[in-house]
Each structure stands twice: as C-alpha cells, then as structure tokens.
Structure 1
Amino acid sequence: MKRSSTRLVSLLLGLALAAAACGGDTAEPESTEPPATTTTAAAPEDPATTQASPTTTEAEAPTTTAATTTEPIEEATPEEPMEPTQVAYLSASSANTWLAASREAMEKLAAENNIEIVEFDAQFDPALQQQQFQDAITAGRYDGIILVAIAGAAAIPDILDALDAGIEVVALNQVVGDDLVTAEPQVEGMAAAVFEPPYHRGTRLGELTVAACAGIDPCNVVYFYGIRGIPLDEAVRGGWDESVAGSTVTVAAEAEGLYLGPDVALDAMQDILVTESDIDVVVGADQSMQGAEIALTDAGREGIRIIGFGGSSYAVEAITDGRWWGGLYGAPYTEGRLAMEAMVQALAGIDMGGVDTSLNIPNRGLMTQDNIDEFPGEWDG
C-alpha cells in the first residue's frame, strides 16, 4: 500500500497561518527567543590554609610569663566561576539530522570554552528565521550568532544589524550572498563562513552521475531536490547541470525530499514509478535516497543506480553493501566543530574567514564501492 506523509512546506505554511490567526489582529508578536539554560562551572576546591607556629631561639626566649600571640591569617576565598558567554544558534531546522550532528560538535567545543549555546529552530521557514534573528539581536545578551541561513542573501540586512550591535557572526553550511562558488564571507565584518560551496558540491555530484551512466544512452535520471528554490539547492543543481552537460544524461523526472527523512521522497518516488517505466539512475540527498530505495524495493524495480549526497552512516553502509551505486561525502560534525572554533576565535578578536570543509576529504568526496573504506560516516542520515 502506498505510504502517505504530510508535505512539510504545506505544514509550515499552515502553522504560520494558524499562528497568525491565534495571535489576533492587534496583539504584539511574542519573542521567539528560547529560554536560556545556563551551565555553571564547578567551583574550585578550597585551597588548603596553614598557619605557621612562631619559633624562638634560646637567646630570644622571653624572660616573662606573658603569652606570645600572632595575628590570624585569613583563609583564601575561592574565585567565583565566570558566567558563560552566550551564543545564539539560528538553525534552519532542529529536526534535520545533518544539522543535529553539527550541533553535537558545537556543544562539545562550547563546553570546553565556557560558552552556552541557545538554539532557535526556524523549521525551514525564512520568515520565522528572520524574526528569530531580530529577537536574538534585541535580547542584548548574545556575544555571537551562528547562522544556518535559509534565505541566503536575504539574511544580509539582519547580519548587518547584528554586526552593528557588536555581535560576532559565523555562517554555517549555507551561502549568504550571491556568489555560490566561494566559501569566503560575502558580508564585510562577518567573522567566518564554514561550508562546502554548493556549486562545487553539484559539479561533483554530476561527475558521479556521468560515471554511473557510462555505457547507457540515453541515461534516464530522476533528480531529487532537497527544497526547490532555496539558494543551496539551486546552486547544487547548477553545478550538476554543468557536469552532466554533453553526456548521455537525460532528466526523466524531478521531485523534492525536503531533507527530513525518507517519507516525503518515498511518496514522490512512488508517484514517479507510476508514470516512468524507464529509469536508470536516481540522485538526491541521502534522506531522499532512503525513501527512493524503499519505493524501488517495494515496486520490485531492480538495477536502478542510486547516488546520494551527504555521506551519512546509512549511505556508507548502502554503498558498502552494493545497494547504492555511490555518493558524495559530507562531514557535518566537522563543519560544526569548525564553526564553533571560528566563533571562539571571533570572540577573541580573530576572524577565520572562509573555511571550505571539502578541501581535505579523500578523492574530493566521491564515494564508490572501490574507496568507501576511506569515508567514516559523521551522521546517521
């Protein structure tokens, strides 16, 4: 039986409309700022205090019976632990498993540097993220903001507001600007930007697709966007189109997976299988490819090559087992660690600039059965 799921985009629009309706026409919008959960470092143990006894020599011995007294030595008072520095984390979606891995790495490094992270969940809603951004600025208690931008260049005015307020800003995972080829910050004053340029990610994904289509003419490909229209996905698709141009690749169908697990892509792939009988390759984010794999298995369609991008533990296992043809590696835990390192440096007055997380990955991140042992999965998928 075909499985069904609620489309996330419709849900988000519904939630936004419901929230507006519940608020009334004249009510002031409530702050989106999450409650802070301050962690306090353990106080150091009281230092040991010793009081030296006076010593006398025979020549100095008193000739009277009056008692000899000494002034008491005050005990040292342990220093109060420093309050943690607060950093706002403007996440595109707390439910996204890639970003959850980044958050885990950030939390670890933050704890080592007396930093408290307060997460704002935008639920892939650009308008909600813009409101959360302004709430974080006006709160007046954040020294830094780590931003996973949903709307790309549209976040620049909010970044400028944060910089004017003296808040350090680090971009994570997403381009903020019009240049989709570079990892360099595109807003003057930003401390750092940490991600693989999405256009390059698309060209590498295209290379894998052409390799999977070798000897197949035409090679009918189903292409899954994550979220059609957002800067990340449009850049990935642009790079993919460049790589497959002039090859035997033909786009047979397109769909969306929404980056939130297999269900949405499962439904979409089931719909495609009703109308498309000749499919050679399916390409998309790891979460989407999990759903596509289920649909293909349920339909008894064999021999279709699956290519994911993300490098999840699931993808690594699937490539190892031969269920998937290949994939493009991603390292969200490393991204999160580097983003927090950049924030620590920024709070100390040092800007790291652009950090391309793909530069030190084996084989440029292109995973196949021949080299899959070189790629440890950093997230579950």
Structure 2
Amino acid sequence: MTRAVRLLAVGATAALTLTAAACSKPSSGTAGTTGAASASKSVSQDKKLSIGFLGFAKANSFAQAGWAGVQEYAAAHNASATFLDANFDAPTQVNQLQDAVTSKRYDVVIIQANDGTAMVNPVKQAIAAGITVVAEFTPIGGRYDTAEPQVPGTINIIDPPTVNGKGLAKLGIQACKAANVSKCQVAYLQGFANFPLDTARTKAAVDDLRAGGAEVISNLVGGYTQDSGRTAMQNLLQAHPGVNVVIGSSQALEGAAPLAKGKKIQFIGNGGSTQAFAAVNSGAWFAIYDVPEKADGAKAAELGLDKARGKNVPTSMATCDLTKFACLGTKQTLAGVTADYSD
C-alpha cells in the first residue's frame, strides 16, 4: 500500500476487519490519557471543525480506506475533511504540514507518515500552533517498533512496521509447514526500496523467517501495484522456479499470483482488501495480514476531534490489538469477517 502506486505495507505495505464501533475501545496496551494528549485548544462543541488528512497517496487503495473512515466520521460529527496528497513523497508531505501550520486551515491533522523522522519537526510546529495531531498507521519519529508516542502531544493509532513484518513472517512459517517441504524457500517482495517503514518491516520479516528455518531466496521489490507485482514474480520464477512461499503487498500479489498457475506456491498478502479476502477464502492464497484501515481512519478522526474539543483521549493504541486475531488473517480467522475496502 492501488499504492499511482496503490497500497501499504507495508507494504508493506497493509486491510480491514472491524467496524468503527469495534475500534472505539483502546487496546490493553493503551498508554492512557495525559495532559499533553488532552491539553490542545478547546473549542465550542457546536463549532464545525476541519480535518486535514495527510495520506500516503490519493491513488493508493489503503490510504483511500483510511480516508473513507475519516470522511464518514467527520461528516457525521460536525466536521469537514480534506485529503492532502503527497503521492508517497516525504518532502512534499513535510511541506504540506508546514503550509497547514502557516495557514491555520485545519483544527486536526491525521498523518500517514511517509517518513516518520522527517515529520518530527513539522509535527512539533503543528502542536505548538494548537493543531491536534494524530499519527495513523505509521509512526512519527525514528522508531518503527512501537505504537507509543515519539512526539509529545500526539495521538497514535499505529501498526508498527516491525510488528507487521514479524506477523508476515509468522504466517510465512505457517505456510512453510503447510507446504510440507524439507527446505522451504520463501520470497519476500519488499514494497519500496529505501522507504523507511518498508526497510524496517522487511528486516523484521526476513530476520524472523530465517530464525524460523526458512530459506529467504530473494528480496525483490514488489511494490504496491499489480504491474509491479507481476514484474517481480516474472523475475522471481526465472531465478527460483521452485519457490514455496511468496510474501508481498496484496496489490502486488494480485498481479503475481496468476503467473503461478500450476505451481504449488503459498501466497501471503499484506493488506485486507475484498480481493485479498476472496483469495484467502478460495484457497488461492494462504493468508493475509489484515489491518482494519477504514475503522482506523474513523477512530483517528474520532480521537482527533474529541481532543480538539477538549476531551481526554488515549495517547496510543496498537492497531492489531483491536482485532480478535492480531491481524493474522487465515481462512479460519477470517470466517465471518468482511473487508470494507477494495483495491
């Protein structure tokens, strides 16, 4: 996260299992409320507020899922919302937030950070200007292994990239066991090369796969589109025709999987679109890492608006703690669950 690029997860990028109501309670790991989280400017409850959504990219299906949740919640709770499209470019996103601080156009900003480290200073500027800041899905800061706030005063609804990578690896080891081979060959298709969250996720996934006994035979860039996934799969099959398990963004696998017709390859997608759900339910894919992204967007809007209106809100929650199956979506765990976005 499909991620002009459509998603990530990340991709990555990357996925939706809960209703917004199901996301309304904080996880057991929630940091609770703090003065920093509740002390932004308080406004009249009947004043219409504005939200700026700094999503990964407007053409990205995963970002669009979060955006849909933001829009729906804002419309029902006396607020407007605007998508600020950085198209996966970190410097553009930094400039967008700096412009928002200067213009004072938004009461709340919800950020899917393309580069968490680059966003630290502009986020501090936004908080100092009285803007409520919500980090959604990706961290704001240099650590990619925690959902806890790295910038005081932010609200964080995070799926740490390393947690995502470890989850993909766990599913990969399960798929290796299902493949029942003496030496399981796993190909991990990275989202973007040199993308900070992808780099952290990839390392976590590859390290855990190897620790679990798998032979990681490639680290190709699969991207977040069917076309990029198809190209990566063509290269993979030429170099490693005996591959047993392929892991990548769900969008990439939608392009990659058809090339494996007649081969016994287990696919694991990162992202829970309707297409990914259908692939798992049909048995074409082994599993998906399923993030409740539309619900996350709605929750981000809820907490952001509540804080801007002077209410106490939790400072952090880990996205996958809000699901009953820790985002690990197999045919069994997805039974009765419906995806709420499409690639």
- Paired position in structure 2 for 1:202: 165
Corresponding residue to 2:107 among 136, 143, 149: 143
Residues 286-323 of structure 1, C-alpha deviations (whole Å, 9 max, x = no match): 111111113323xxx41111111212211111111111
Q: Is the 8 A contact 2:54 2:84 kept in 1?
A: yes
- Paired position in structure 2 for 1:370: 332
Q: Is the 8 A contact 2:188 2:219 kept in 1?
A: yes
Cα distance in 2 for partners of 1:125, 1:380 equals 23
> Which of the two has higher C-alpha Rg?
1
Cα distance in 1 for partners of 2:253, 2:187 equals 11
Q: Secondary structure of 1:341's match? A: helix
Q: Which amino acid in 1 is paired with 2:326?
A: R
TM-fit CA distance, 1:238: 3.0
- Paired position in structure 2 for 1:319: 280
* Compared CA separation, residues 269 and 136, structure 1 to 2 (3 A): same
Q: How many residues align?
A: 297
Spell out the pairing of 1:1-381 with structure 2 (5 A cutoff): 84-190=48-154, 192-214=155-177, 215-259=180-224, 261-297=225-261, 301-349=262-310, 350-381=312-343
User: What's the Cα RMSD here?
Assistant: 1.8
Runs of 4+ in 1 over 4 A off after TM superposition: none
Q: Is the 8 A contact 1:216 1:248 kept in 2?
A: no
Q: Which amino acid in 2 is paired with 1:268?
A: A
TM-fit CA distance, 1:183: 1.0
Cα distance in 1 for partners of 2:305, 2:47 equals 16
Q: Is the 8 A contact 2:193 2:221 kept in 1?
A: yes
Q: Is the 8 A contact 2:145 2:161 kept in 1?
A: yes
Higher relative contact order (CA 8 A, sep 6+): 2
In structure 2, stretches of 5+ residues that fail to align are 6-45
Cα distance in 2 for partners of 1:363, 1:351 equals 25
Q: Secondary structure of 1:359's match? A: helix
**TM-score when normalising by structure 1:** 0.74
TM-fit CA distance, 1:83: 6.3
Cα distance in 2 for partners of 1:140, 1:189 equals 18
Q: Secondary structure of 1:177's match? A: coil
Q: Is the 8 A contact 1:109 1:340 kept in 2?
A: yes
Q: Secondary structure of 1:171's match? A: strand
In structure 1, stretches of 5+ residues that fail to align are 1-6, 9-81
